[in-house]
Amino acid sequence: MHQQPSYVHGTNEVALIGETIGSYLNLAAERFGDSDALVVPHQQVRLSYRQLLQQVTCLAANLIELGLKPGDRIGIWSQNCAEWVLVQFATAKAGLIMVNINPAYRRSEIEYVLNKVQCSALILAPQFKSSDYISMMMDVVPELAHCAPGELKSERIPHLKHLIRFGSDKTRGMLNFNDLLKVPSAELLAQLAIAEAGLEFDDPINIQFTSGTTGAPKGATLTHHNILNNGFFIGEAMRLTRQDRLCIPVPLYHCFGMVLGNLACVTHGAAMIYPGEGFDPKAVLETVQAEKCTGLHGVPTMFIAILDHPDFANYDLSNLRTGIMAGSPCPVEVMTRVMGQMHMNEITIAYGMTETSPVSFQSSVDDQVDLRVSTVGRIHPHLEVKLIDADGHIVPRGQKGELLTRGYSVMLGYWDDLEKTRETIDAARWMHTGDLAVIDENGFCSIVGRLKDMVIRGGENIYPREVEEFLYRHPKVLDVQCIGVPDPKYGEELCACIILRPGARADADEIRTFCSGQIAHYKIPRYIMFVDQFPMTVTGKIQKFLLKKQIATQLGLGMN
C-alpha cells in the first residue's frame, strides 16, 4: 500500500499580488481613504490611510533628496513608534532597502550590521529602556562630533553618510527626522515617481538579521513580493477587513510586527494600533479597551502576562475576536484562557522563520480548538512544504523529518554570504529550516524539535554559538558551551557553562558585566555555571544533550 508522503502545497483561488509595496499603498489609500490606518496613543498619532500615504510620500521624496538611490541600505534602530511605519513604507516606495536593527543591540552588534550590509543611512531613536542609542553611535562614530549632517566620513563604518534622529533635540552631525516630513517640491515628487516606476516586485526591500550558528548574525534579504504577499495571506487567514483594529505589542524590527502586523493590516484596510514602545501588559489592556481593538498579536509569554495582570478583570475586551499567537510553542491552557477570558475565539497560530517572510503554516479561525492548540495549522496559500530524513528523502505522513519550504516566500538569500545561502537554500530552491516536524494525513503540521540547539527565550531566538564566540573573548575563559534550560515564564533560559583557564578565578557577576553593553540583554546568560569538563563522545564531540540534563538537574529545573 502506497504511503502518503509528507508533502503539502497550498492551492488557492486568490492570486498572488504582483505589485510593489509602494504601489499597493497607493491603492490602499484610494480604497480605504478616511479609515484609520495608524493609531499610536502614546504619541498622540492618528492617521487615516490617505494621511499615511501623504506622510510616506513626503518622507520617500526627502530621502531621495539626501542622495539615497534605489538599492541603498538604510538602517532603522528604534522601538515601536509611528515613525517606524513611515520608514517601512517610505523606503519601499523609494526602492531603498530597509535594514531592521534589533533595539537590544549594543556597540559591537550595531557596528557589525552597519558594515555587513554597508548602510548609507541610519535612522535612530535617541534612547529606549537601558539603551542610549545616540551615545552608542558617538562611541562607534566619534567623527559625528565634528561633521555637518550628511557629510560623515567614518573610519570604522565607511559607507555611513547620514544619521537621522527622532525627536526635536539637536545632535551634532545628525539630521532630524521631522525635517524629512516637509512637503517636497514638484520636481522632487517627479524624481520619486521615476524611481518608483523603475521598481520591480522581486527587488530586495528589507534585510532582517537572524543570529547565525556561526556566531555572526546573517542578513535575510526579502523582496516586496515576499513580505507583501505573506502579509496579505496572514490577514486572509484572520479574516481581516477595514472594520478591524489590530493591537500590535510585538516588536516591529521582527517579522511578527512588521509583516503579521503592519502588512496584514495595510493589505486589508485594517488599523495598526501600537499600545506602547515596548510590551507592557497594562498598556495593552488599556489600548484594547480604549480603541475597541478586534485583534491582538503576541507570543505566549505576552498573553500570560496580560491574563495574569492584577487589573485584568477591570478591562472590557469584548471587541476582541482574532489575533496571532506565535514565536514559540503555545501551551494548551494559555490558548484556552485566551479564547475564554479574552473573547479571542478566532485566534490563530502561525509558524515560520524570517527567511520565509515569515509564515509557512497557520491555523484558520474555524479549525477545531484541539488542532489549533496541538498543531501550527496547515500550509499557507501558494507555498510548498516537504519533510525529509537525514538522507534527503521525503518521509511518510506521521513521521518526523526536517521541514523544508519552497515558494514565493523564500528569501533571495543572506546578504553578501553566498556560502551560507547555499547551505540553507538548495538547488531546487527549498529552504532548509532546521526544524523537525510531523505532518498528519489531513495536512496539519506539528513542530516537534530543532535540528540545531537554538534556544527560544520568550519568542527571541538565541543561537548559543554566537554567545559562546563572544564569551571566548574573556581572558579567563578557556572553553564555554551555552545551552537552553527549562523556564516556566520564558520557555527556555540561556545557561553558559564555562571552563576557566588554569589558576583563573571568576564569578557570574564578572561574566555578566563583561557582556553588558556589548551584546543584547536577552543574550546575556541567565545562569552561569563553572565546570571542570564537558561530557564528550569517544570522538571528542561535546554532548550538549547530556550537558543540558546535568545542568538542569543541578539547577533543580527538570528537563522538558
Domain containing residue 538: CATH number: 3.30.300.30
264 falls within a domain: no
Can you tell me the distance from the alpha carbon of 446 to that of 374, in angstroms, rounded to the nearest whole number? 7
Report yes or no: 167 and 176 within 8 Å, Cβ to Cβ: yes
Q: Which of 195, 210, 225 is the last residue in one of the domains?
A: 210
Q: Which residue ranges in the chain fall short of pLDDT 70?
A: 1, 211-215, 328-329, 537-541, 559-560
CATH of the domain at 181: 3.40.50.980
Count structural domains, the chain: 2
180 falls within a domain: yes
Q: What is the pLDDT of residue 451?
A: 72
Instruction: Scan for cell 484558520, then name that residue.
Output: 364
498 falls within a domain: yes
276 falls within a domain: no
Q: Which of 210, 245, 269 is the last residue in one of the domains?
A: 210
Domain residues for 180? 21-210
Closest CA to 29 of 258, 259, 242: 242
Closest CA to 412 of 404, 402, 422, 401: 422
139 — phi, psi (to 5°)? -70, -45
Report yes or no: 152 and 162 within 8 Å, Cβ to Cβ: yes
Can you tell me the distance from the alpha carbon of 466 to that of 464, in angstroms, rounded to the nearest whole number? 5
Q: What is the pLDDT of residue 306?
A: 96
Q: Which of 183, 210, 237 is the last residue in one of the domains?
A: 210
For residue 466, what is the enclosing H or E element? helix 464-471
518 falls within a domain: yes
The set of residues, in sequence order, having a beta carbon less than 8 Å from that of 365 and lying 6+ positions away, is: 237, 238, 239, 322, 345, 346, 348
Q: What is the pLDDT of residue 214?
A: 45
Closest CA to 318 of 286, 288, 279, 283: 288
- At residue 361, the 3 state secondary structure works out as strand
Whole-prediction pTM: 0.86
The set of residues, in sequence order, having a beta carbon less than 8 Å from that of 554 and lying 6+ positions away, is: 529
Q: What is the pLDDT of residue 388?
A: 97
Category of 292 on φ-ψ map: left (φ > 0), alpha (ψ -120 to 50) or beta: left
Can you tell me the distance from the alpha carbon of 375 to that of 329, in angstroms, rounded to the nearest whole number? 9
- At residue 125, the 3 state secondary structure works out as coil
291 — phi, psi (to 5°)? -95, 5
2 falls within a domain: no
444 falls within a domain: no
337 falls within a domain: no
Can you tell me the distance from the alpha carbon of 341 to that of 318, in angstroms, rounded to the nearest whole number? 9
